[in-house]
Chain A
Amino acid sequence: MSADKDEELKKIMLVEDDADIRTVATMALEMVGGMQVHAFGSGEEAIAAVAGLAPQLIMLDVMMPGMNGPEVLVRIRERVETADIPVVFMTAKVQPEEVERLRALGVLDVVAKPFDPMTLADTIKGLWAKRARS
């Protein structure tokens, strides 16, 4: 499923195994950014739901038990209906080479943890707008 480039970013899928971060990120995006967030606690759950949910953008934690972020990304890209959904990785491993490695997988960008809850939504919207321009 491909998102319309001129469309306003409203619907986000958040995949994060840490429940606390999941809660904080959801609140930051919804209450500060006014977005609709669908949060999932594992890669497997997210893959099962992504096609039906058809989010405009997926925020994907990198290190998760079971299926990790890059593996989830591969699975999403494998399916025609979800292959074009832009993905933003979230990671606590912020070493430059790690960030470069993740960007090279074809994601919009990498958001470092811990993030600022008051600017997270703007950051994501900025990436969305940048993608739309490109």
Chain B
Amino acid sequence: MGQSAMSCGEIAGGPAVASTDRIVQVEGLRFGYPEGDFSLGISAFEVRTREAVAVIGPSGSGKTTLLHLIAGIVRAREGRVLTQGVDVGGLDDAGRRDFRLRHIGLVFQEFELLEYLDVLDNILLPYRINASLRLDEAARERARSLAERLGIGDKLRRLPRQLSQGERQRAAVCRALVTAPALLLADEPTGNLDPANKGRVLDSLFDCAAESGTTLLAVTHDHEVLGRFDRVVDSKSFAARGGSPVSGSAP
């Protein structure tokens, strides 16, 4: 994927990231929720910088959990998860939050926009929830520019309930990209969209990621869209490559 004028570069601060062509490296991972019988084992998994990777697999196979491990939302019990060369699991809570905020963008299946904020405020949410990011005019301009690029530039003052499903997901994509993350993690980004909106959101997602040089790792059940990714990984292969089979059910 090429770099374009749209790329804003990464925001300074947080733990030092390594310059590596492997933005995600998972080694000998073992994970389980304390309150459940689910466990996930991955011997090796990696994503190269600027690659667009889709992870497919049956429900409960740990796809979403993998995204959470890479983002540092949860910690592995064993093994290492290196994101941009940083062992995210080795960071404390504040460090992982800060890392996530600066280097990772998250897109959810159900958009997860805050209903009481207008589109612009939703896009700028990362700046509102963490004092380590400075909400300045450049950030606002980046938000407006992204919204314009994704076709919702004229809806910045609207509330989420005043948008179509596709527009909501595009607003969520803007929120994920507004901090110019190196890695975009998308969990079923088209799961709630009709075919027309699905195409438009994916176009936006891929175009923006390509233009800003952002690596895209998406979990999906939608086989129609797999052709757009550089690589498709079946979650079943985690075990096939030497990891423990997935058991139980994951979120």
Partners in one complex: no
Q: A-contacting residues of B (Cβ < 8 Å)? A: none
